[in-house]
Amino acid sequence: PQGIGSPSVYHAVIVIFLEFFAWGLLTAPTLVVLHETFPKHTFLMNGLIQGVKGLLSFLSAPLIGALSDVWGRKSFLLLTVFFTCAPIPLMKISPWWYFAVISVSGVFAVTFSVVFAYVADITQEHERSMAYGLVSATFAASLVTSPAIGAYLGRVYGDSLVVVLATAIALLDICFILVAVPESLPEKMRPASWGAPISWEQADPFASLKKVGQDSIVLLICITVFLSYLPEAGQYSSFFLYLRQIMGFSSESVAAFIAVLGILSIIAQTIVLSLLMRSIGNKNTILLGLGFQILQLAWYGFGSEPWMMWAAGAVAAMSSITFPAVSALVSRTADADQQGVVQGMITGIRGLCNGLGPALYGFIFYIFHVELNELPMPESPSGGSVVTQYHLQQNSIIPGPPFLFGACSVLLALLVALFIPEHTNLNVRSSNWKKHCGSHGHPYSPQAPGEAKEPLLQDTNV
């Protein structure tokens, strides 16, 4: 087979690292270009761009996963990485085309779906969770380092160099896939003809959502995930822009904030989560995580000083324990043959939130007229004059209204989660699901249990 060596998790790790390292470099330049391109209704346009991309990714991910079951993983790794990185060079060529291509690229910007399929092909079931954890940790590591590097290079050498460097890294990723990544799907599982049929039921993005109402416990879990992840998805799409534009953070401060938050979240999801699960139990860990999320969203909403954002960020890292705890609850209470079904529902809910959340946050910013007429200069030691002027103009309005809306949403999620029993057996009718998931005869299915162990951020949030 083409490629270097036999298929391994390390091939997938390198692909993910290079792709998101390239995007992480552009964190600070993107915030500047976004405001310069849309000086009016900046948050609304940001929400619409990210919302369209998220919805397109939600609709296309199952189809691309099904096609990769038939035609192999390598070609779709190449396709998804190419289209995910295609907007990068357009940032300096044409900002309007840059944002237009970002929104449309959601159709193919589903690298994680193909990477998880690649990993599932080459790992046994008992080692799959560890492999997914390695991929997720690599994703987080790339975003911990790259925004700070991009902000420094942009300040010293200009944003053009950052765009060129990000483009070069994206091209390196594409070349790595072409030259070094071997095909993971065995030849005997791929048909000789490219016209082979696929399972359209498997390609249906709403297939998992249709099963939500079949069990009351599953319904409670899915409602909890929806109400808690909707504001989280919206927050990830707009929060760094909010820090930059409204709170007066410099590019370096935003990069440092991302790094600190990423490191604290990794610690929370490993050491702290393990201690809590053993000491207070699964359900109480979920409730504690939701409580932290309510606190950090309320703090973001009412906070008007930079130190408040840093303090709330530490609380936000603790709130990241919620989804792993939900996944653990499902894996412990669902029968062995129900794991893929229930985890697939949760993954589908999160995918839907990735489209709805950013658009919702952008719309709420627009309703409350949270805009900025001037862009704080990053090289200025303090952008106090601009920020002070903003707050004097907007002193009758809560600084971050969408975050308060999110806090109310998570409060509802907490009330719903109170009714989830600690130990129960989930019963979801899945005969059709199991039939079409097993139709290809190999261990991968788009909603494999391990896929729920998603990274802190996702493709659509970069």
Burial of 373 (0-12, 13-18, 19+ CB in 10 A): exposed
Structure-block tokens of residue 100:
């237009």
pLDDT at site 320: 81
CB 138 within 8 A of CB 15: no
Per-position DSSP letters for 190-219, written without gaps between them: S-SSTT----TTTT-TTTTGGGGGGSHHHH
Return the axis-axis angle of helices 42-71 and 27-37, rounded to nearest 10°. 130
pLDDT, tens digit only, all 462 positions of the chain: 576 778 788 888 899 899 989 998 988 888 888 888 888 888 888 888 888 888 888 888 778 877 777 777 888 889 889 988 999 999 888 888 989 898 888 888 778 778 877 887 787 766 665 677 677 777 777 877 788 888 889 888 888 999 999 999 999 999 999 888 887 776 555 554 445 556 666 667 777 677 777 778 878 888 998 999 889 888 877 788 788 777 778 878 888 888 888 888 878 877 888 788 888 888 898 999 999 999 999 888 887 788 888 888 888 888 888 877 887 777 666 665 555 566 667 777 877 888 888 888 888 888 877 665 444 444 443 444 344 334 434 443 566 788 889 999 999 999 999 988 876 555 554 444 444 444 344 444 444 434 444 443 444 443
**What class is the 1-185 domain?**
mainly alpha
The residues, ordered by sequence, that sit 6+ positions from 67 with a Cβ below 8 Å of its Cβ are 76, 198, 203
Quote the DSSP letter at residue 338: G
Cα distance between residue 109 and residue 87, in whole Å = 11
Q: Decide if 1-185 and 209-371+400-421 have a common fold.
A: yes
Q: What is the largest CA-CA distance in the chain?
A: 68
Q: Per-residue pLDDT tens for 180-237?
A: 888 777 655 555 444 555 666 666 777 767 777 777 887 888 899 899 988 988 887 7
Domain segments of the chain: what residues?
A: 1-185, 209-371+400-421
Report the b/e string of 229-265 with b at 16+ CB within 10 A.
bbbbbbbbbbbbbbbbbbbbbbbbbbbbbbbebbebb
CB 218 within 8 A of CB 333: no
Cα distance between residue 323 and residue 327, in whole Å = 6
The residues, ordered by sequence, that sit 6+ positions from 263 with a Cβ below 8 Å of its Cβ are 144
Give the number of other CB atoms < 10 A from CB of residue 1. Answer: 13
> What CATH architecture applies to the domain 209-371+400-421?
Up-down Bundle (1.20)
Q: Per-residue pLDDT tens for 48-76?
A: 888 888 888 888 877 887 777 777 788 88
The single residue listed with the structure tokens 């030259």 is: 179
Residue spans of alpha helices (H) in 201-321? 216-245, 251-267, 273-279, 282-302, 306-319
Q: Which amino acid is at 253?
A: S
CB 159 within 8 A of CB 92: yes
Burial of 275 (0-12, 13-18, 19+ CB in 10 A): exposed
CB 285 within 8 A of CB 273: yes
The single residue listed with the structure tokens 């489209």 is: 355
Residue 334, strand partner residues: 426
pLDDT at site 176: 92
Quote the DSSP letter at residue 337: G
The single residue listed with the structure tokens 């044409």 is: 94
Cα distance between residue 399 and residue 300, in whole Å = 8
Backbone phi, psi, residue 334, to 5°: -85, 150
Burial of 304 (0-12, 13-18, 19+ CB in 10 A): middle
pLDDT at site 222: 85
